[in-house]
Amino acid sequence: MARKVAVIGAGVSGLISLKCCVEEGLEPTCFERTEDIGGLWRFKEHVEDGRASIYHSVITNTSKEMSCFSDFPMPEDFPNFLHNSKLLEYFRIFAKKFDLLKYIQFQTTVLSVKKLPDFPSSGQWEVVTQSHGQERREVFDAVMVCSGHHIIPNIPLDSFPGIEKFKGQYFHSRQYKHPVGFEGKRILVIGIGNSAADIAAELSKKAAQVFISTRHGSWVMSRISEDGYPWDMVFHTRFSSMLRNVLPRTVVKWMTEQQLNQWFNHENYGLEPQNKYLMKEPILNDDLPSRILYGAIKVKPRIKALTETAAIFEDDTVEEDIDVIVFATGYTFSFPFLEDSLVSVENNMVSLYKFMFPPQLEKPTLACIGLIQPLGSIFPTVELQARWVTRVFKGLCSLPSKNTMMADIINRNEKRTDLFGKSQSQILQTNYVDYLDELALEIGAKPDIASLLFKDPKLAVKLYFGPCNSYQYRLVGPGKWEGARNAIFTQKQRILKPLKTRALKHSSRFPSPFLLKVLGLFTLIVAFFFHFQWF
């Protein structure tokens, strides 16, 4: 049984791993390269080597009720989508509340993690760290890799012939901090992920003209869904997840397309995905369509070549006098401190069991946390990962045989490419609710809705038709939290609280006895076939 655990990185994944270790009675030590917690979410004016870098205006794309840890709801008055500084504040309160800082060694970089010679029997690792020029070796029973995957910029310069001639300024989105200095410029943003759309929309308010060049296009969603509720509260319910799984794919895709085109027609705006039948991650951006409608942003196809001052596109159109090119072309990842073979990407596939365990290890004493891109919030996802991993370390949960794990990796990857496509940017993509339930099942924290239907029907209905939030995974099993049921029932209150800044005297309420609710539910189910999104 493992006792001493090394946690690499004190971002979100590292913090939640620490909490889970402590709760399981393990002895964690966290090594963090920088002087503070928060990882990606700690904004700095200057880019730092080896750490993710965000622009000043980053706002979460997952809502607060869907992004909080399962036994620690965000403060009532926090807005529903958080500025990065506010999210960092949440992580600070969280770290303080669970007294996590004392386990972290700051300004300490992990240089290498190697198996001890007797690894097949001991499962132990030698971890070499460096702090203020001093190297240290220490033996650990287990390792949690929480070092993030938005650090190494991916700029495929080969795909942009002529870039070496280009006289203007060009940089990766990682370098972008503010719209200052871009006034009156003609700017070309390459890519169509969340960062590309954010940066293009922000710059388009100052620039003379912004262009977005995209090969594949993308669906765009608003953070605001039906009745003004956050999109993910509506999208991520067990019921809709079940429907997406059981209905024929063509039906689901058709409905999704109808729904996504309701806000604006993606074809008219030049954004329609090339392969619209893929569930490739939509981007969340409320400004992009309006900026396109104003003409401040123009959507262009793939770039064929660049000259000293111009961009030539696939359709042979040319845009002259480009001053700035922003490569919002995403990231690649690597773990320089691990042996190459441990976490490898081959044939567009990550060799990890459930995105966590290298299957070839004799002992399951090393896991990656947060090396995943769920369709929903990453925070509840990494929490369940950490809860499971720590129980595996303790020997309370076990992994199947190497062959079974390999088969699962391949099988999962086939499903993934079928759903999300083969693009390099999608290799970590996974369904949200399904993945959470899968992990919860491993630790015995998945609520049994069928049996709840008799014991606590109100709760059962909420669990099935309501938003699939993290509190659901604290109702039963190890780590059960007494406040979980209440947190589920008071969620709406916390969503509305920050909006109630102008008290209205006469708020009339529609009476809703049980029968009406049943009727309402029926209508909703019918409405699904026309709308897809509902509460």
Ligand X SMILES: Cc1cc2nc3c(=O)[nH]c(=O)nc-3n(C[C@H](O)[C@H](O)[C@H](O)COP(=O)(O)OP(=O)(O)OC[C@H]3O[C@@H](n4cnc5c(N)ncnc54)[C@H](O)[C@@H]3O)c2cc1C
The residues binding ligand X (CB under 6 A) are 8-14, 31-34, 39-41, 50-52, 54, 58, 60-62, 67, 109-110, 146-148, 150, 195, 337, 370, 377-379
Residue 247 binds what, of ligand NAG, ligand X, none (CB under 5 to 8 Å, by partner type)? Answer: none
Report the nearest approach of ligand NAG to the CB of residue 239 (Å).
19
Of 30 and 460, nearer to ligand X (C-beta) is 30
Residue 41 binds what, of ligand NAG, ligand X, none (CB under 5 to 8 Å, by partner type)? Answer: ligand X
Residue 284 binds what, of ligand NAG, ligand X, none (CB under 5 to 8 Å, by partner type)? Answer: ligand NAG
Rounded to the nearest 10 degrees, what angle do helices 84-97 and 12-23 cross at? Answer: 20
Q: Exposure string (b/e) for 213-249, b if CB count within 10 Å is 16 or more?
A: bbebbbbbbebebeeebbbbbbbbbbbbbebbeeeee
Q: Exposure string (b/e) for 353-390, b if CB count within 10 Å is 16 or more?
A: bbbbbbbebebbbbbbbbbbbbbbbbbbbbbbbbbbbb
What is the C-alpha separation between 272 and 532, in angstroms, rounded?
19
Residue with tokens 């689901």: 252
Of 141 and 202, nearer to ligand NAG (C-beta) is 202
What would the two tokens of residue 330 be?
């995403």
What is the C-alpha separation between 62 and 81, in angstroms, rounded?
7
Report the nearest approach of ligand NAG to the CB of residue 454 (Å).
35
Q: How would you write 15-64 as a 3-class SS string? A: HHHHHHHHHCCCEEEEECCCCCCCHHHCCCCCCCCCCCCCCCCCECCCCH
Residue 39 binds what, of ligand X, ligand NAG, none (CB under 5 to 8 Å, by partner type)? Answer: ligand X
Residue 123 zone, left/alpha/beta (φ > 0; ψ -120 to 50; rest): left
Of 126 and 257, nearer to ligand X (C-beta) is 126
What is the C-alpha separation between 382 and 513, in angstroms, rounded?
39
CA angle 381, 13, 397 (to 5 degrees): 60
Report the nearest approach of ligand X to the CB of residue 9 (Å).
2
Report the nearest approach of ligand NAG to the CB of residue 57 (Å).
13
**H or E element that contains 186:** strand 186-190
Is residue 66 a contact partner of residue 467, using CB atoms and an 8 Å limit?
Answer: yes
Report the nearest approach of ligand NAG to the CB of residue 376 (Å).
5
Report the nearest approach of ligand X to the CB of residue 14 (Å).
6
Question: Nearest 5°: phi and psi at 374?
Answer: -75, 160
Of 376 and 479, nearer to ligand NAG (C-beta) is 376
Question: Where along the sequence are the contacts to ligand NAG (CB under 6 A)?
Answer: 61-62, 193-195, 281, 284, 373, 375-376
CA angle 106, 109, 112 (to 5 degrees): 145
Residue 323 binds what, of ligand X, ligand NAG, none (CB under 5 to 8 Å, by partner type)? Answer: none
Residue 153 binds what, of ligand X, ligand NAG, none (CB under 5 to 8 Å, by partner type)? Answer: none
**H or E element that contains 324:** strand 324-327
What is the C-alpha separation between 298 and 381, in angstroms, rounded?
36
Closest residue to ligand NAG using C-beta atoms: 194
Report the nearest approach of ligand NAG to the CB of residue 143 (Å).
24
Of 41 and 393, nearer to ligand NAG (C-beta) is 41
Residue 358 binds what, of ligand NAG, ligand X, none (CB under 5 to 8 Å, by partner type)? Answer: none
Residue 36: how many CA atoms within 13 Å on its side-chain side? 12
Q: Please name every residue paired with 143 in a beta bridge, in sequence order, or none if there are none.
A: 6, 366
Report the nearest approach of ligand X to the CB of residue 104 (Å).
10
Q: What one-character-per-residue DSSP string does 91-135 give? A: HHHHHHHTT-GGGEE-SEEEEEEEE-TTHHHH--EEEEEEETTEE
Report the nearest approach of ligand X to the CB of residue 418 (Å).
24
Residue 193 binds what, of ligand X, ligand NAG, none (CB under 5 to 8 Å, by partner type)? Answer: ligand NAG
Residue 370 binds what, of ligand NAG, ligand X, none (CB under 5 to 8 Å, by partner type)? Answer: ligand X
Of 259 and 307, nearer to ligand NAG (C-beta) is 259
Residue with tokens 């880019």: 47
Report the nearest approach of ligand NAG to the CB of residue 125 (Å).
29
Of 62 and 429, nearer to ligand X (C-beta) is 62
Residue 9 binds what, of ligand X, ligand NAG, none (CB under 5 to 8 Å, by partner type)? Answer: ligand X
Of 149 and 462, nearer to ligand NAG (C-beta) is 149
Of 230 and 358, nearer to ligand NAG (C-beta) is 230
Residue 423, judged by CB atoms within 10 A of its CB (0-12, 13-18, 19+), counts as middle
Of 42 and 446, nearer to ligand X (C-beta) is 42
Of 13 and 213, nearer to ligand X (C-beta) is 13
In the sheet that 108-115 helps form, which strands lie side by side, from edge to edge? Answer: 108-115, 125-131, 134-140
Residue 14 binds what, of ligand NAG, ligand X, none (CB under 5 to 8 Å, by partner type)? Answer: ligand X
Report the nearest approach of ligand X to the CB of residue 481 (Å).
21
